[in-house]
Each structure stands twice: as C-alpha cells, then as structure tokens.
Amino acid sequence: MTWLAAALLCILVVEIALRLPFAGLLRRTARTATSALWTLRARHVSDHWKEKVMVAYSGRMFACSLGLALWLLVVAAVVIAFVLAVEFVLPGFSAFMTGWQGIVASLVAASIYLSLRKHLPHARLQSARQAASPAGPATRSGR
C-alpha cells in the first residue's frame, strides 16, 4: 500500500508540475541572461548604459527566480499535505518516502507515468474525436 501511495504522489506532482508555468519562467530567465551577456560583451554600448541595463536585467531575473521559488513552494506544500494525510492512514509513509527505497520508487513511478502520459492520451483522444465526428476522420483541408 505504501508503494501505491508513493505512485499516486508522483502522479500528482507530475501533473501539478506540468500545469504550472515553470517552462515559461525558465525560458524568460534564460533569455534575460543571454541578453545580459550580449550587453556586457557589446563594445558599442557605453559602460554608463551597461550599468543602467544591468539593473533592469537583474530585476527581471530576480522576479523570475522569485516566481520559480514560489511555484516550487506550491509543489512542496502539496507534497507535504499529501504525505501528512497518508501518514494518518499508513504510519511510516514519510520515513519510506525519505529513504532510498521511496526515492527510487518515486523516480521510477514518475518516469513511467510521464512516458505513458506522453504516448497514451494522443491515441485515445484521436479515436474519441473520430468517433464523435459524424463525417468520420477530419481532414486538414477543411472538407
């Protein structure tokens, strides 16, 4: 039962992480860092303007880092709430999850779920759309 609870926790965390805006924040952070490096290396930009722009870039990177930290806290709060709730039903669940077996089980369960999630819904969704369509499979030309 502990293994099943660990798998459910992993599924929950994967779904939450995929729905939160982590990718956008990471892209914006990387874009800002690239722009900052380009500005620092630019010979045609004076040191005065580099100082002014770097303040703006650092503020943008701070905001992105703060956003990432807050979303990670949301995920951590969900994990803690789930572990505490399961701990009432299955004493020792938190010890299992922090041990090597729980960590390995979490890694395996999350990896399997993520790969299944990536491949399975597309086939199911397409067959459901085709079944719902009165004219059969849809074509790209719009006919």
Greater pLDDT, 126 or 74:
74
Q: For 61-86, how does the pLDDT look when each residue is reduced to its tens digit (9 = 90+)?
A: 999 999 999 999 999 999 999 999 99
Domain ranges of the chain: 2-128
**Do residues 32 and 120 lie in contact, with contact meaning Cβ atoms separated by under 8 Å?**
no
**Do residues 75 and 20 lie in contact, with contact meaning Cβ atoms separated by under 8 Å?**
yes
Q: For 28-66, how does the pLDDT look when each residue is reduced to its tens digit (9 = 90+)?
A: 999 999 999 999 999 999 999 999 999 999 999 999 999
| pTM for the structure as a whole | 0.71
**How many whole angstroms separate alpha carbon 143 and alpha carbon 132?**
17
